[in-house]
């Protein structure tokens, strides 16, 4: 079984099927195994075999990265904008004194419309992703094409290797990557300069780079020469803390010296400048390049994007029923067109990635004339108002006035998910200034003493910790007992959508699943859905991930019943509904290249095959 699980993680489904068939044969030969355990193992093998066979039937016999062109890159809805590179024709780039450059819809935009499909000006793969992602196009690879000069840079093809060498890697090779790996976002600032071209090109456009923002405030049309769009992003050097500015300046100086003494970037062989001019202007040229590196480092503090993917964590138990999914950072990139969007703590777009490309979709309808808002990180569904404001002021140098930050009813939103339970209406008790021992309900306004609720919550925490210890050592029965006791206490002292209550129910579901009681596990996971939806929204990725987890366990539950029975048909119908709901969310947020959407399509097809 473990061999098949390894093949599954590698998307090598043919080998997975063969391993599972071998496991079936071995199980048949094991006569000294308890009948209940043998039956459970047989069901698990059959279900895993069904899933692997389904993957084979939809053509997933190879890793996606082996054939990256299998999926066509989407195009912006309504066509591409002639005056705004990589953007939809439904968008306009505007400028005002109050907002600066910003993006508005010139027609009604519908939820799910693609607003940007942008290739980054430059990106840098993070060191812990070197073994999986191409340094030049960010695609996954199975068999790396290494750099011919160093051991760190790896590519998906010889074409990517050559393009990388010609554009930037020749200056980063021969030990340079070890240095660059240690300087964080500054590595990307360094690469932006390298990708801009040789010295003569940089110096030739220097005058143009000094043009005011107002001269190009309403057009971003040139894809081929978009370095100036990167240059015109705000660096905010005058707003930075002196300590930060000093650190960025020293890093830029170090990189300029690295180019001078460790590469041939400034030599006659690398640049078509006359030798006399090179010698005469060497000092000013080095300062010029160092100044550009500093500018781009400062810009990236506010304008850098993290290229991410959704990854799965498999539990150590053999059955792998309950998976956890989380975002993993792959690379850091700069997207000058998408950077024109202003921030809101409640954005109306969602970002996703296909290799190096940023794909921006509308996550709700946007009226004509409405502004298109991105989220720079602090989201009102993940972070409280005070914390969001502090981050935005310290990193982006502005105070946010979006609705979640300014409307009184929304400023307490995050507090609901750490609230105690109102005894009158079961709503959330929120902090008041009158007394640390009394709180007021955010729904009905009832005020009450919270001493007994706090005491119960501490007892519940102790039970949860005991359950976690038992789970870690594999004592499922004891873990389940502790988690259920904790759940009972928390139901009577915590608001129904409290994070701790949701986590506790999830752990109970995990225990039931690992014990093979999938029906009870499903019941627990169903109780988590309303809390996840209340906190993150009905079309959120978080809800889709929860539905993915629920559908995994439901598939195991269905396999325990006789095909065609009333119970089987009812459970099959419910599982289909939740799978289709997850599919709708993932189709709205992502594209077919997304592994989560591929998994849910596989489940949908498997359920069709299981239908009687």
**Residues 497, 428: one domain?**
yes
Name the percent of the chain lying above pLDDT 90: 64
pLDDT at 609: 86
Q: How far apart are CA 32 and CA 26, in angstroms?
A: 12
Per-residue pLDDT band for 318 (boundaries 50, 70, 90) equals very low
**Comparing C-alpha atoms, which of 500, 511, 508 is closest to residue 526?**
508
Q: What is the pLDDT of residue 63?
A: 41
pLDDT in tens, 81-94: 999 999 999 999 99
- State whether 242 and 291 are in the same domain: yes
Confidence at 66, pLDDT banded by 50, 70, 90: very low
Please tell me the pTM assigned to this model.
Answer: 0.83
Answer yes or no: is 323 within a domain.
no
Residue finishing a domain among 350, 376, 402: 376
- Per the domain annotation, does 401 fall within a domain? no
pLDDT at 605 over 80: yes
Read off φ and ψ for residue 397, nearest 5 degrees: 65, 40
Do 8 and 157 fall within a single domain?
no
Higher per-residue pLDDT: 18 or 183: 183
Q: How confident is the model at residue 204 (pLDDT cuts 50, 70, 90)?
A: low
What CATH number is attached to the domain comprising 105? Answer: 2.170.270.10
395 lies in some domain: no
One domain for residues 23 and 70: no
Is residue 214 situated within a structural domain? yes
Backbone φ, ψ for residue 555 (5° rounding): -65, -40
551 SS3 class: helix
CB environment 191-211: b (16+ within 10 A), e (fewer)? bbbbbbeebeebbebeeeeee
Q: Which CB contacts under 8 angstroms, 24+ apart, belong to 388-391?
A: 388/345
Whether pLDDT at 214 is above 60: no
> Looking at the structure, do residues 372 and 519 belong to the same domain, yes or no?
no
Tell me the per-residue pLDDT of 500-540, one tens digit each, with 9 for 90 and over: 999 999 999 999 999 999 999 999 999 999 999 999 999 99
CB contact at 8 A, 342 and 99: yes
Please tell me the least confidently modeled range out of 39-48, 365-374, 443-452.
39-48
Do 519 and 429 share a structural domain? yes
CA dihedral 237, 242, 244, 249 (to 10 degrees): 70
Give the Cβ contact number of residue 96 at 10 Å.
Answer: 9
Looking at residue 320, its pLDDT comes to 45
In a domain, 8, yes or no: yes
Long-range contacts of 385-391, Cβ-Cβ distance < 8 Å, separation of 24 or more: 385/411, 385/414, 388/345
Residues 429 and 454 in one domain: yes
Whether residue 7 has pLDDT greater than 90: no
Give the number of other CB atoms < 10 A from CB of residue 151.
9
CA distances, 263 to each of 217, 266, 281, 295 (Å) = 37, 8, 18, 22
For residue 273, the model assigns a pLDDT of 59
* Average pLDDT over all residues of the chain: 87
220 or 354: which leads in pLDDT: 354
Tell me, what CATH number does 501's domain have? 1.25.40.10
CB 509 within 8 A of CB 323: no
The tokens describing 428, both together, are 């959330």
Do 102 and 19 reside in the same domain of the chain? no
DSSP 143: S
Mean of the pLDDT values across residues 485-505?
96
- What is the extent of the structural domain holding 461? 414-610
User: Where residue 206 falls among pLDDT bands split at 50, 70, 90?
Assistant: low
Average pLDDT estimate for 310-314 = 63
Greater confidence (211 vs 596) lies with 596
Q: What DSSP element (H or E) covers 584?
A: helix 566-589
Q: Does a structural domain hold residue 155?
A: yes
Q: Which of 133, 110, 115 is nearest to 123 (CA)?
A: 133
pLDDT, position 323 = 53
Note whether 540 and 419 are same-domain residues: yes
Last residue of a domain, one of 62, 93, 109: 62
Considering 46, 62, 78, which residue would you say is the last residue of a domain? 62
268 and 200 in a common domain? yes
Answer yes or no: is 246 within a domain. yes
Rounded Cα distance between 292 and 517, Å, is 61
Does 381 reside within a domain? no
**pLDDT top residue among 105 and 175:** 105
pLDDT of residue 226: 80
Domain count, the chain: 4
Task: Check whether residue 250 and residue 354 sit in a common domain.
Answer: no
> Does 578 share its domain with 446?
yes
């Amino acid at each position: 079984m473990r061999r098949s699980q390894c093949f599954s993680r590698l998307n090598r489904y043919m080998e997975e099927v063969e391993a599972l068939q071998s496991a079936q044969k071995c199980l048949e030969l094991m006569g000294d195994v308890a009948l209940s355990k043998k039956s459970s193992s047989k069901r698990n093998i059959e279900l895993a075999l069904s899933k692997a066979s389904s993957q084979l039937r939809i053509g997933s016999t190879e890793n996606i990265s082996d054939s990256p062109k299998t999926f066509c890159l989407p195009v912006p809805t309504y066509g591409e904008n002639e005056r705004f590179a990589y953007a939809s024709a439904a968008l306009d780039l505007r400028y005002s004194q109050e907002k600066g450059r910003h993006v508005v819809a010139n027609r009604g935009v519908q939820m799910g419309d693609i607003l940007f499909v942008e290739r980054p000006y430059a990106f840098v793969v993070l060191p812990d992703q070197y073994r999986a992602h191409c340094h030049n196009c960010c695609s996954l690879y199975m068999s790396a094409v290494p750099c011919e000069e160093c051991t760190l840079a790896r590519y998906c093809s010889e074409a990517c290797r050559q393009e990388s060498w010609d554009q930037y890697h020749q200056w980063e090779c021969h030990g340079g990557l070890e240095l660059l790996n240690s300087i964080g976002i500054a590595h990307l600032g360094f690469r932006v300069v390298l990708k801009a071209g040789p010295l003569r090109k940089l110096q030739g456009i220097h005058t143009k780079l000094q043009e005011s923002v107002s001269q190009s405030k309403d057009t971003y049309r040139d894809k081929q020469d978009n370095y100036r769009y990167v240059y015109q992003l705000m660096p905010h050097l005058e707003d930075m803390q002196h300590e930060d500015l000093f650190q960025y300046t020293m890093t830029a100086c170090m990189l300029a010296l690295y180019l001078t003494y460790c590469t041939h970037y400034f030599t006659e062989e690398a640049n078509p400048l006359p030798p006399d001019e090179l010698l005469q202007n060497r000092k000013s040229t080095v300062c010029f390049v160092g100044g550009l590196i500093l500018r781009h480092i400062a810009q990236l503090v506010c304008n850098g994007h993290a290229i991410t993917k959704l990854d799965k964590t498999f539990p150590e138990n053999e059955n792998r029923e309950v998976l956890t999914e989380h975002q993993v950072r792959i690379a850091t990139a700069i997207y000058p067109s998408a950077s024109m969007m202003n921030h809101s703590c409640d954005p109306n777009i969602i970002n996703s990635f296909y290799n190096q490309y940023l794909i921006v979709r509308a996550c709700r309808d946007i009226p004509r004339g409405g502004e298109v808002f991105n989220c720079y990180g602090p989201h009102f569904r993940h972070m409280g108002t005070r914390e969001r404001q502090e981050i935005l002021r310290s990193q982006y140098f502005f105070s946010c006035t979006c609705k979640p930050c300014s409307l009184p009813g929304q400023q307490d939103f995050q507090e609901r998910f750490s609230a105690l339970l109102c005894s009158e209406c079961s709503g959330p008790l929120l902090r008041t200034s009158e007394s640390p021992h009394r709180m007021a309900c955010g729904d009905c306004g009832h005020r009450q003493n919270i001493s007994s609720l706090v005491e119960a919550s501490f007892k519940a925490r102790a039970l949860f910790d005991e359950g976690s210890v038992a789970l870690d050592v594999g004592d499922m029965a004891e873990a389940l007992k502790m988690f259920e006791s904790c759940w009972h206490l928390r139901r009577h002292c915590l608001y129904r959508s409290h994070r701790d209550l949701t986590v506790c129910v999830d752990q109970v579901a995990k225990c039931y699943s690992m014990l093979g009681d999938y029906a009870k596990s499903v019941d627990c996971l169903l109780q988590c859905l309303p809390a996840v939806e209340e906190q993150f929204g009905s079309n959120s990725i978080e809800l889709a991930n929860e539905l993915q987890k629920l559908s995994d366990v439901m598939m195991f539950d269905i396999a325990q019943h006789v095909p065609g029975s009333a119970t089987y048909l009812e459970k099959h119908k419910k599982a289909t509904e939740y799978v289709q709901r997850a599919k709708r969310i993932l189709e709205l947020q992502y594209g077919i290249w997304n592994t989560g959407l591929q998994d849910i399509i596989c489940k949908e097809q498997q359920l069709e095959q299981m239908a009687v």
